[in-house]
Structure 1
């Protein structure tokens, strides 16, 4: 995509060629991910950022942005405060994507800059000549309506139907599409922001939010703790707030506010339980923002204000492990962060492990065990379908878009690895290790190698009789799951296995299966472990007995609709279409589009749904699924 940049009296740039204020044209010297990479990975190097934090590191951002819904544009400025890591450094390199840069200044005077050619997914490097005196510069800019990290929703695409809605999604490398900055998780910044909106709307950010702030169209924010760029987040809409506890509350549109607050009422209990075991919560408040259904993820762990999909409002708290997951990121991810996207498992593996622990502490061992079994099955599905190189924790992502390689490997395999450490040394000892780990690396971004060195110097040294570096390296650097890894088990699924086997054998009819006491996890286990092929009679029998096609639980509906596509059960196809056009969460829609793409008739159905839904999908959802409908 090419963006035409505004010309000023002293500044001109284009995405293909840079122009400095003195009229000199330059090409960037930064190596892009699309170029050849060496065979050896340089540990700690962020291959997904053009920035130069080893020479000049940005430490604080001051944003002043106006939200323009008509033009689908954020416009204004960002002041970047920096420090010279190398005293002789005279250039600051920032990441951008499809930004229009109108001016760069320091000490009130315009300074030279160059915007390089656009890389396929990394964007364009913005190189700024730093003045000899001073430690901050100001960039005037505006975003593109197609910014990959920003979604603009019309009133019709919201619950209230009266006002537009805006939200950002920065992970993995999308912050650069709405702020010129060093878009690397190894660069941590504090930030302040002034956001100017239509007066009827409320702005919230991953910062200190005041639920009682006047709706006057000008909102001030501060994030005093240093965070990586992928955690900078903004949302603007007709939002309302309801407290759930002393430190927890929920923002959403009015029509779902009460349902969301009731569904997630245990958030405060989760927070207290996690603090008790893993140390103090470092972010003051923990609030939730319930986004429109187009949000592409289950949740995003933006500090102080997690962004949450409405698809987990099931009415029975059966899907609240997602809230536990985003809360757990307040320790693993937000406070101790992966330094590069190769190290993503340090965020997600630790967080998934903590999620299971939180669910056990708040809801009991039975709930924990069921979710652990389901997680292990999801991991095995990815292992069965991914290339060997994509099954390792410390993955090689050079030359690849990090969005394209998110899977259950960093999440569930990472958590299983930590569970093995726990089982080897005992829970009490492992909890002591985690508490020390979070404290030792507090507000730091670290690599896999740094974690392994710390692990070797602490837990392995103290428990050398049961832990070995060979086994640890196998977990991190080898594909699949090592032999004799922990195997989660749940007694609650025994009755489900028996019921499914009896029904498949014809010993009982579906209507005679005793499901009255089943919880959502048992339903998911029942459906997810069906044989690949079922007859139309079997499908109709299940549907008649349990009304699965009309399930209001989005996870159960997903499992059933996937079975329906794979077995071409046409009575479910109207619901399938409604499902695909009403939500944009990739975990739920992508497998359905993929399954539909396997047949010509299915692809026609997919194309119809995608065409209808595309304008309401987030750019990430469009990118993830457009290949299935081409």
Structure 2
């Protein structure tokens, strides 16, 4: 008997009764109407012999009819619309093993970003989807829970001058008729179904890797991501074979709300990674790591997202250490620990547990499950030793490949396979305090970095009266500049902020991590309100970028004071139309909490 599906508070689906096992999409992309229309055909598995209803998740879809495979109309009903979950679509299927839903999207399809020509680098229309966590239901009727997996295929019709790609087998050149066919033979959750349509070109990065982007961007992207094949090899050395065939990337326009989205076979990536010095490619390592932690072994519900993201941050830094050395990884670990402190100070105590209690997953989690989850795994590693922990993780990915995972099941596996053989108890590792309590327990590991020690010495010299020109900054990498900015006191005289900005070019930095740290600093210090050029750089940053985590940080800082929130609202009125609905929803709540 197959394992039961976990109850998911964020889905109407009843997969323990009838579950979808395969999806066949047939869609037409209409840029003029900003609509997808067609049909979704589902293969069904009746897990309960008595069950006669299939329940799908939807969000304001225009469902025109539901039929059996032979075209017979099937009774169906849309439930009341819930502002978080959308609507249930309940279909009386009897004992049928296939059902067809004929539908189109509406203007409220929040997974879809339709970009006008002036919003793209190529001057042509662009469409991309962002399903995670529960937005798949806004463009596909589906069982929208991460614990439910189905293979899929698709026929997608687009304008003939554009290329369509999906999280599936992909073309590298346009067809003459604008019709594209896709197949994803490995069952995946609905949040990993992805589509993009635009003026795209492809560049190979190696035997298994490549990058898609708009023509004016693609060569820069290929240079920036040149180490991708090496990352795949490093990941395989750590935790076993890459099981998805290819690993390609798609660089999206700036409104993409995340650093990356780990869609299998085709990671979606933000153009903010194109810093020109390969300083932000650790995001590629992160999305690649999701091919094991997340895509291979998936959190059962979004309350267990640390099982995806905490594991992935841990794995990401291990890949970075393999490729770039221990001191490089140490810098990332220290910066991550600083990031965790930031979120611990602003989140409610209950929201700093590893196991969350999310009301609306689409509000976006903080960095808590990412950084606290990774720190918990580092704590386990320190207790048992890296060699044993690596063996455990590799066996974990093998044992639960293409399955879902919840926290109690993981902890039981951890105890039986690693802790008990090592003679360790829950109390030894303070497991309850890590998983089911706020903050960070006392047994956390601490990280040291010679590179950051050198930065700290120069910070002390600067605060002691030396000019930036007198500091020893030769050979600093971007992480060291980032650390320097974070270490500056808010009380620094504005003339000294002038000096730092002029020396490092912080207000104009192309590195989003450095630029965000600088803006947070100068907002807290009040400096941004006294220097019109810095204020303009902030407005340009918030208008140019749509990456939700980073613009959210800046807006939160601005919203903390009456002067700041007034300025934030002025900028947001201009910037908001260019943001993805995911980012819009987050910033709306910051600036207009009522």
Fold-level match, TM-score > 0.5? Answer: yes
Tell me the CA shift for residue 466 of structure 1.
Answer: 7.2
Superposed counterparts of 1:220-235, under 5 Å = 220-235=181-196
Tell me the CA shift for residue 125 of structure 1.
Answer: 0.6
Tell me the CA shift for residue 468 of structure 1.
Answer: 4.8
Alignment of 1:68 onto 2:45: no
Tell me the equivalent position of 1:3: none
Distance between the aligned counterparts of 2:452 and 2:141, measured in 1? 50
Alignment of 1:444 onto 2:403: yes
1:431-461 C-alpha deviation (Å, 9 max, x unpaired): 1101100000010011111111111110012
Tell me the equivalent position of 1:419: 378
Q: Which of 541, 547, 571 is 1:609 aligned to?
A: 571
Alignment of 1:472 onto 2:472: no
Distance between the aligned counterparts of 1:46 and 1:384, measured in 2? 29
Alignment of 1:189 onto 2:150: yes
Tell me the CA shift for residue 395 of structure 1.
Answer: 1.5
Structure 2 regions of 5+ residues with no counterpart? none
Tell me the CA shift for residue 263 of structure 1.
Answer: 0.5
Tell me the equivalent position of 1:599: 561
Do 2:156 and 2:180's aligned partners in 1 also have CA atoms closer than 8 Å?
Answer: yes
Do 1:208 and 1:223's aligned partners in 2 also have CA atoms closer than 8 Å?
Answer: yes
Alignment of 1:581 onto 2:540: no
Tell me the equivalent position of 2:523: 565
Q: Equivalent residue of 2:420, what SS?
A: helix
Q: Which of 497, 505, 530 is 1:547 aligned to?
A: 505
Tell me the equivalent position of 2:452: 493
Alignment of 1:626 onto 2:588: yes
1:357-415 C-alpha deviation (Å, 9 max, x unpaired): 00000111111010010001101111122111111111122xx1012251121111111
Distance between the aligned counterparts of 2:100 and 2:511, measured in 1? 48
Tell me the CA shift for residue 245 of structure 1.
Answer: 0.5
Q: Which of 461, 464, 467 is 1:505 aligned to?
A: 464
Tell me the equivalent position of 1:457: 416
Distance between the aligned counterparts of 2:24 and 2:105, measured in 1? 17
Structure 1 regions of 5+ residues with no counterpart? 1-41
Tell me the equivalent position of 2:231: 270
Tell me the equivalent position of 2:101: 139
Distance between the aligned counterparts of 2:235 and 2:73, measured in 1? 49
Distance between the aligned counterparts of 2:297 and 2:85, measured in 1? 25
Q: Which of 77, 80, 89 is 1:114 aligned to?
A: 77
Superposed counterparts of 1:343-354, under 5 Å = 343-354=304-315
Do 1:535 and 1:567's aligned partners in 2 also have CA atoms closer than 8 Å?
Answer: no
Tell me the equivalent position of 1:20: none
Instruction: Give the TM-score of the pair, scaled to structure 1.
Output: 0.91
CA, structure 1 residues 370+215, in 2 after alignment: closer, same or farther (shift >3 Å)?
farther
Tell me the CA shift for residue 270 of structure 1.
Answer: 0.3
Distance between the aligned counterparts of 1:550 and 1:339, measured in 2? 42
Do 2:508 and 2:537's aligned partners in 1 also have CA atoms closer than 8 Å?
Answer: yes
Instruction: Give the TM-score of the pair, scaled to structure 2.
Output: 0.96
Q: Which of 79, 83, 96 is 2:58 aligned to?
A: 96
Distance between the aligned counterparts of 2:33 and 2:570, measured in 1? 28
Distance between the aligned counterparts of 1:45 and 1:595, measured in 2? 37
Q: Equivalent residue of 1:255, what SS?
A: coil
1:277-336 C-alpha deviation (Å, 9 max, x unpaired): 200101000000000000000000000000000001111111111000000000000000
Tell me the CA shift for residue 146 of structure 1.
Answer: 2.6
Alignment of 1:205 onto 2:166: yes
Q: Equivalent residue of 2:55, what SS?
A: strand
Tell me the equivalent position of 2:49: 87
Tell me the CA shift for residue 469 of structure 1.
Answer: 7.1
1:105-164 C-alpha deviation (Å, 9 max, x unpaired): 0131111111011101110111111133x3010000111123111100000000111x10
Q: Equivalent residue of 2:222, what SS?
A: helix
Do 1:345 and 1:410's aligned partners in 2 also have CA atoms closer than 8 Å?
Answer: yes
Do 2:58 and 2:89's aligned partners in 1 also have CA atoms closer than 8 Å?
Answer: yes
Do 1:503 and 1:509's aligned partners in 2 also have CA atoms closer than 8 Å?
Answer: yes
Tell me the equivalent position of 1:482: 441
Q: Equivalent residue of 1:609, what SS?
A: helix
Give aligned pairs, total.
584
Tell me the equivalent position of 1:129: 92
Q: Equivalent residue of 1:410, what SS?
A: helix
What's the RMSD between the two structures over aligned residues?
Answer: 1.5
Distance between the aligned counterparts of 1:532 and 1:126, measured in 2? 53
Q: Equivalent residue of 1:524, what SS?
A: helix
Tell me the equivalent position of 1:514: 472
Tell me the equivalent position of 1:535: 493
Distance between the aligned counterparts of 1:234 and 1:256, measured in 2? 19
Distance between the aligned counterparts of 2:539 and 2:279, measured in 1? 25
Alignment of 1:376 onto 2:337: yes
Do 1:114 and 1:126's aligned partners in 2 also have CA atoms closer than 8 Å?
Answer: yes
Tell me the CA shift for residue 484 of structure 1.
Answer: 2.3
Superposed counterparts of 1:327-342, under 5 Å = 327-342=288-303
Q: Equivalent residue of 2:409, what SS?
A: helix
Distance between the aligned counterparts of 2:128 and 2:410, measured in 1? 34
Tell me the CA shift for residue 471 of structure 1.
Answer: 2.0
Distance between the aligned counterparts of 1:512 and 1:295, measured in 2? 40
1:61-82 C-alpha deviation (Å, 9 max, x unpaired): 0000100111111110000111
Tell me the CA shift for residue 568 of structure 1.
Answer: 2.7
Q: Which of 435, 443, 459 is 2:394 aligned to?
A: 435
Distance between the aligned counterparts of 1:177 and 1:348, measured in 2? 24
